[in-house]
Structure 1
Amino acid sequence: MSLHLPNPFIPQRADPQIMRHKDHYYFIASVPEYDRLELRAADSLMGLREAEPVTLWEKDHSGPLSELIWAPELHRFGQQWVIYFAAAPGREIKEGLFQHRMYALVSDHDDPLVASQWQPPRRVHTPIDSFSLDATSFHHQGKNWYLWAQKDPAIAGNSNLYLAELENPWTLKGPPVMLSKPEFEWECRGFLVNEGPAVIVHGGRLFVTYSASATDENYALGLLWIDEDADLLNPDNWHKSADPVFTTSWENQQFGPGHNSFTTDEQGQPLLVYHARNYTEIEGDPLWDPNRHTRIKPFAWRADGMPDFGVPPADSP
């Protein structure tokens, strides 16, 4: 790869997403204060590191969107820009969980950096009114899809992965299906978690990576896949890796890699965008530790068509 990527790529930005659209790269992520949505843009991947962040929206002073603004993602829905994110009414934990719900911010303007053109957040309602977050969206088979993590009170654990077709950027079209729940040992360390899904299509298959377990050194990526022509809403068509596909490297001092997205460099090389820490000694809850840094690494496709994400590389300038 001709482009050298410093590691970390952008410090203190968790849940990172880099989107390449036309001639621009866009970067969005959770900020350590969990209080706003900020976006940066550049005409090169490396340019994102020095790009000035633009605040597009700030949390409310009270109410359902007043705390813990988490995991924003930027997407296109037809000719509109959409930012999906999760927010909570406070920091209290009820029955073991925060009280996040999912929201969509929409702009009809050509330039997503024009803050005044973003419409007020709309709630994305799902059939169960429960802890939900980490939504992503993708276009496939001529349809727009919504993929997210949510707690089902009838299922043990924090969150499972659900998929539904979208009617518009903030409205589901038809009932969702569950694609995955925490079941393997590596998905249940600290907490039973499946969250942070990301989608990539390659070689006749649609792949979904997701993050599992607690957000410390146990955090790791799992993998689902389906034939790209198959019915996405039939859970029987989906396959799930019994082993994680991207995990902590004690040798490289990279801990809890996860909550990824996908992009490409200027030559089209596929890149894995993710966050990880370079230490394990965390005081208190890992969520309040700001040093889940954004990192990027190239990855390859194996001869059998499966992705090979390798090992998280050590810090380097």
Structure 2
Amino acid sequence: MPPTRRHAPARARALPLLSAALLALLALLQPGAPTARAGTAPAPPAAAAAGTFTNPVVTQNGADPTIVRYNGYYYHLGTTWASHWEIRRSPTVGGLRNATPTTVYRETVASRCCNFWAPELHRLNGPNGLRWYLTYSAGVSGNIDHQHVHVLESAGNDPLGPYTYKGQVDPYGDNRWMIDSSYLTLPDGRLYLLHSFWEGGTQNLYAVRMSNPWTPTGRAARIATPTHAWEKQGAGVNEGPVILQRGGRTFLTYSASHCDTPDYKLGLMELTGSDPLAPGAWRKFPDPVFQRNDAAGVYGPGHNFFFPSPDGKEVWIAYHANSSPSQGCGGTRTTRVQKVNWKADGTPDFGTPVSTSTVLPEPSGTPALTGRE
């Protein structure tokens, strides 16, 4: 999550730790300040041996990562803080580090031009059949108190686009501050948009039924709010919801506590009812499932995404993290990945974040390179 993204005016008064110094950092992260966006990020480690890699896999624009796999390639995109989206493509996870970014969309409309945050890329059925949909948060130049959720649609089946703007998602009809959008598709085809905003002094999770990837039907329902102490470090925050489905079960990971602290972390929920909007339909697990690993030098791991291995036998998690407890919501956050394991009861086991010196094998089924870029 970008720095100071937690304070709309009322929230800024409630959270004194979100200071003028952080606002100054946000200004540095605007277009035209590349040193603040990327210059403070750690230098990438030396390349690992063929068939292996080390974290981080992306350093420039590595926060709030999405990685998808399609037609033999991995595609990565992350927060740019600017007015455009860019995607890296590689046949291997390790190859993403040096892949040349392709700009797939650039915005010129002033009301949604800037502060591009938290992109997610999903292949969904829409009015034109299967298309890629890029959902994200954006607002106006120089002010983060007007962030809203927007959706782009690809012209065809290429994740690199081109993309066209489809609309702002506003399930409340009041143009409220709203971030961290993601989709939930149920087996019967019902589509929901998950998102986060501040209400009642905390940042909560909400879901709304969608008639297509950019059009809500009715109002959203709150599905989670910070209740545990580990969700309230720095501020009471539940954000960054992402769905993980396996064996007929639907799990939801989310990021908890304030992103400016090293205690930003992941929590887990499970859909136990048939209606995601119904009270009590979600069970929240009592303990965090992925958090700082001081021994490995990993701090503030969060805002994740999931992607499959080439052979479909493994699930991998992409997430961002820092390499120092003093780093926060800025350009120091880099994209890291590791494999998800599974417990005997069928719940995911994320383990602990690995160090940047840990050599990891490419996901199972990765084919030998044949000269593809």
Q: State the TM-score, normalized to the length of structure 1.
A: 0.88
Give the Å deviation of 1:237: 2.1
State how far apart, in whole Å, the 1-side matches of 2:245 and 2:71 are.
19
State how far apart, in whole Å, the 2-side matches of 1:151 and 1:21 are.
35
Give the Å deviation of 1:121: 5.1
State how far apart, in whole Å, the 1-side matches of 2:102 and 2:278 are.
40
Give the Å deviation of 1:304: 1.1
Deviations 1:258-314 (A, max 9, x none): 0000012223311111000001234xxx33x31101000112110011111111111
More displaced 10-residue stretch of structure 1: 75-84 or 292-301: 75-84
Matched, 1:67 2:67: no
State how far apart, in whole Å, the 2-side matches of 1:124 and 1:168 are.
11
Give the Å deviation of 1:191: 1.8
Taking a change above 3 Å as real, the CA distance of residues 202 and 112 of structure 1, as seen in their structure-2 partners, is closer
Aligned equivalent of 2:44: none
State how far apart, in whole Å, the 2-side matches of 1:124 and 1:102 are.
6
Aligned equivalent of 2:102: 54
Q: State the TM-score, normalized to the length of structure 2.
A: 0.75
**Alignment map for 1:207-286 (pairs within 5 Å):** 207-215=251-259, 216-227=261-272, 230-267=274-311, 268-282=313-327, 286=328
State how far apart, in whole Å, the 2-side matches of 1:121 and 1:68 are.
18
- Structure 1: gaps spanning 5 or more residues: none
The answer to whether the 8 A contact 1:90-1:99 is kept is: no
State how far apart, in whole Å, the 2-side matches of 1:69 and 1:168 are.
22
Matched, 1:28 2:77: yes
SS of the residue corresponding to residue 99 of structure 1 reads: strand
Q: What is the aligned length? A: 300
Matched, 1:204 2:248: yes
The answer to whether the 8 A contact 1:130-1:151 is kept is: no
Aligned equivalent of 2:132: 81
Give the Å deviation of 1:145: 1.8
Percent identity reads: 33
State how far apart, in whole Å, the 1-side matches of 2:53 and 2:271 are.
31
The letter for the 2-side match of 1:7 is N
The letter for the 2-side match of 1:19 is V
Taking a change above 3 Å as real, the CA distance of residues 64 and 191 of structure 1, as seen in their structure-2 partners, is farther
Give the Å deviation of 1:75: 1.0
Higher helix share: 2
SS of the residue corresponding to residue 146 of structure 2 reads: coil
State how far apart, in whole Å, the 2-side matches of 1:146 and 1:167 are.
10
- Structure 2: gaps spanning 5 or more residues: 1-49, 360-373
State how far apart, in whole Å, the 2-side matches of 1:147 and 1:253 are.
31
4+ residue stretches of structure 1 with deviation over 6 A? none
State how far apart, in whole Å, the 2-side matches of 1:204 and 1:76 are.
20
Give the Å deviation of 1:113: 1.6
Matched, 1:136 2:187: no
